[in-house]
């Protein structure tokens, strides 16, 4: 596929599914690369402030991610509602977009106010240390209040993608991340004559950049430069009907709950690993960081799947919709499988780059070798990641929630029992993670194969 062709607008209901999926995913991968770079730069600049600042931004960001989970769930609902909508009904599409926008804005305001006032309690529940709490509260409160505007950006980008436009959201996300990186440099350490704002500067940079993105996207919708023109003079069309409200929250509600369970699993696994000591936590943190960054590319393929599948369902082509799920599963399996093989082969070098402690090396190498299983473990995870979003594309987020909940029980149960009753020590936890991946991917594949998504 030629580079210029990757960025051209494609109709997911026609032509090669492989080319369309790769084109869509590639544009999301570009944003992911930007996201990783900006996060690493942010970590570098914050690290100049000391360990407490790193912890404050980390825990404050985790708390804000909980709020983000809610609006991201609304964004996921647009894949089914807009992606599967009759594109010829321009008037109906415009009214639907207005109602979804109203839901996004109201939700953002509620989350912003709730987040601001619940900041100390929420951060304490997340286990924030007393010496970090004050800075974490400042970070979280800035992000929360700014979320009145900034939280809209991410579901807006998903809304535009659901209408088959991948290129412009890619540009705007890249722009927002570039602005954030620039503001990080200026605000955190006070470079180029700006006041040194520290942790607050990190919060303001992410908030201002996303807010700019929100305003720009809303402006383009108002001018009619997107898939629908939004007339802000007729406010009566922003009134949300019970049907749309039910559809949005039926899809986003289960997706949000899954996101919260995902956060719970991370916290539970951290607690279990912590029982083996600080060095075990260091090894786990190294492995999880690489897994999180690499899995983001897989999540991008999952997002592509939801868009392609929902658009084909909108035209009534069930056969092509089903095929898109399997095609993207293969693409993701190859992608993450290769990454898994690389992690397996280079485990010693990866862990050794971050730590020379022999115990950390041994546990970290075991983490990569066991969880990847020479790439096989990541293949199961890759398939689950895609089919999770395939179900979302048809408006079913309950099935992935139930499967993920079952996986959580299995993974945490094994993580507690294997080290204790089978003498596997820390390796028992790594095996539990692998078992969770295998269960998750294989179960969703079986349910997709038997046509659960059609019901």
| Residue-level pLDDT at 19 | 92
58 and 156 co-located in one domain: yes
| Residue-level pLDDT at 10 | 83
216 and 291 co-located in one domain: no
pLDDT above 70 for 453: no
Q: Which percentage of the chain shows pLDDT scores above 90?
A: 55
Per-residue pLDDT, averaged over 248-269, amounts to 88
Residue in 298, 335, 375, 368 with CA at minimum distance from that of residue 32: 298
228 and 348 co-located in one domain: no
Q: Does 64 reside within a domain?
A: yes
Of the listed ranges 74-88, 120-134, 410-424, the least confidently predicted one is 74-88
| Residue-level pLDDT at 113 | 95
Residue where one domain finishes, among candidates 183, 214, 240: 240
pLDDT digit string (tens) for 195-240?
Answer: 999 999 999 999 999 999 999 999 988 888 777 788 887 788 889 9
pLDDT above 60 for 150: yes
| Residue-level pLDDT at 9 | 74
Per-residue pLDDT, averaged over 238-250, amounts to 89
**Confidence tier at 1 by pLDDT (50, 70, 90):** low
Q: What's the number of CA atoms in the CB half-sphere (13 Å) around residue 435?
A: 17
pLDDT above 90 for 334: yes
Number of compact structural domains in the chain: 2
Q: Which percentage of the chain shows pLDDT scores above 70?
A: 97
Q: Does 253 reside within a domain?
A: no
Q: Does 194 reside within a domain?
A: yes
Residue 357 is inside which H or E element, if any? none
| Cα(79)–Cα(76) distance, integer angstroms | 6
Residue where one domain finishes, among candidates 214, 240, 266: 240
| Cα(161)–Cα(144) distance, integer angstroms | 25
146 and 288 co-located in one domain: no
Q: Does 251 reside within a domain?
A: no
| Residue-level pLDDT at 232 | 80
For residue 156, the enclosing domain spans 21-240
Q: Does 166 reside within a domain?
A: yes
Q: Does 59 reside within a domain?
A: yes
110 and 160 co-located in one domain: yes
32 and 107 co-located in one domain: yes
Q: Does 185 reside within a domain?
A: yes
pLDDT digit string (tens) for 362-397?
Answer: 999 999 999 999 899 999 999 999 999 999 888 899
294 and 423 co-located in one domain: yes
**Confidence tier at 34 by pLDDT (50, 70, 90):** very high
313 and 169 co-located in one domain: no
Residue where one domain finishes, among candidates 186, 211, 240: 240
210 and 330 co-located in one domain: no
| Residue-level pLDDT at 238 | 86
What pTM does this model have? 0.87
User: What is the 8-class DSSP label of residue 152?
Assistant: T
pLDDT above 80 for 5: no
**Confidence tier at 128 by pLDDT (50, 70, 90):** confident
134 and 281 co-located in one domain: no
Q: Does 11 reside within a domain?
A: no
Of the listed ranges 59-73, 226-240, 345-359, the least confidently predicted one is 226-240
More confident position, 337 or 311: 337
206 and 301 co-located in one domain: no
319 and 214 co-located in one domain: no
3-state DSSP call for residue 437? Answer: helix
């Amino acid at each position: 596929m030629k580079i210029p062709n990757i960025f051209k607008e494609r109709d997911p209901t026609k032509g090669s599914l492989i080319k369309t999926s790769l084109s869509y995913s590639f544009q999301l991968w570009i944003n992911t690369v930007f996201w990783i770079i900006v996060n690493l730069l942010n970590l570098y600049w914050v690290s100049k402030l000391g360990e407490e600042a790193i912890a404050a931004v980390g825990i404050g960001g985790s708390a804000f991610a909980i709020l983000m989970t809610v609006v991201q769930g609304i964004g996921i609902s647009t894949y089914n509602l807009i992606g599967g909508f009759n594109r010829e009904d321009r008037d109906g599409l415009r009214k639907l977009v207005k109602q979804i926008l109203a839901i996004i804005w109201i939700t953002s305001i509620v989350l912003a106010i709730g987040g601001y006032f619940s900041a100390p309690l929420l951060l304490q529940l997340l286990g924030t240390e007393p010496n970090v709490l004050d800075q974490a509260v400042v970070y979280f409160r800035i992000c929360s209040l700014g979320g009145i505007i900034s939280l809209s950006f991410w579901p807006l980008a998903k809304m535009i993608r659901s209408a088959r436009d991948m290129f412009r959201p890619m540009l705007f996300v890249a722009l927002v991340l570039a602005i954030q990186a620039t503001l990080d440099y200026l605000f955190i350490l006070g470079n180029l004559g700006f006041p040194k704002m520290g942790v607050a500067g990190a919060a303001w940079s992410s908030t201002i950049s996303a807010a700019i993105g929100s305003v720009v996207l809303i402006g383009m919708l108002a001018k009619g430069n997107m898939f629908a023109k939004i007339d802000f003079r007729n406010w009566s069309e922003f009134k949300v009907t019970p049907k749309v409200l039910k559809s949005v929250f039926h899809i986003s509600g289960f997706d949000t709950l899954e996101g919260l369970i995902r956060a719970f699993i991370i916290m539970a696994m951290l607690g279990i690993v912590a029982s083996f000591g600080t060095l075990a936590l260091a090894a786990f943190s190294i492995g999880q960081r690489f897994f999180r960054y690499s899995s983001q590319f897989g999540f991008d393929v999952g997002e592509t799947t939801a868009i392609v599948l929902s658009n084909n369902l909108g035209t009534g082509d069930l056969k092509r919709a089903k095929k898109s799920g399997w095609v993207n599963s293969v693409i993701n399996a190859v992608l993450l499988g290769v990454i898994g093989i690389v992690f397996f082969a280079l485990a010693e070098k990866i862990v050794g780059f971050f730590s020379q402690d022999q115990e950390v090396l041994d546990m970290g190498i075991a983490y990569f070798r066991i969880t990847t299983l020479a790439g096989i473990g990541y293949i199961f995870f890759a398939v689950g990641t895609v089919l999770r979003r395939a179900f979302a594309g048809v408006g079913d987020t309950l099935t992935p929630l139930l499967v993920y909940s079952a996986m959580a029980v299995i993974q945490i149960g094994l993580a507690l029992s294997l080290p204790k009753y089978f003498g596997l020590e820390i390796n028992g936890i790594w095996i539990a993670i692998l078992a969770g991946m295998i269960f998750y991917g294989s179960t969703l594949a079986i349910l997709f194969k038997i046509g659960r998504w059609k019901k």
